[in-house]
Structure 1
């Protein structure tokens, strides 16, 4: 069974361009939406993302909506905790493929590390 996990040196989730997420206002309240938008740099990447190290500069203090946790996904998307693993895998893979491509090293590494590839 595939098990979701964040992979190092990826950062695809840090590509926050609101044009890719036109429904942000449907799952973030106005204050969280304002915070989200304040994190987006001119290039569409989070201002806290280090593109050289490919890491979040505020990982331990990142906002709740940047975390893959049952409570947040239930609040944003109505995902039940039992469904979180599969939903997170699908979301991450879609984001990685959108940012880096479906044949990228990041996509292949993610698939291998979560157990989609043997």
Structure 2
């Protein structure tokens, strides 16, 4: 059964993935039934759940480092599909990253 996607709400159109630093691509992504990313991107966590693998730099292994875009966009997991560009979750992650970065300067 295909996974239903809810329509994005509360979108800030000024925020675009193309202008971002892929902050969301460092978040953990647990795979759900119906997700179908290529096998070589899948790992298992300590509890045995399937998750998207991370590279040594902490970013999702499906992220193209040159373009900072997803290389499996059409097959990306449900969690990634629900993470709307410019949506409330996106804005929260960006705010958290900026807050953390400001404490490091």
TM-score normalised by structure 1 residue count? 0.45
Q: Which has the higher strand share?
A: 2
TM-score normalised by structure 2 residue count? 0.50
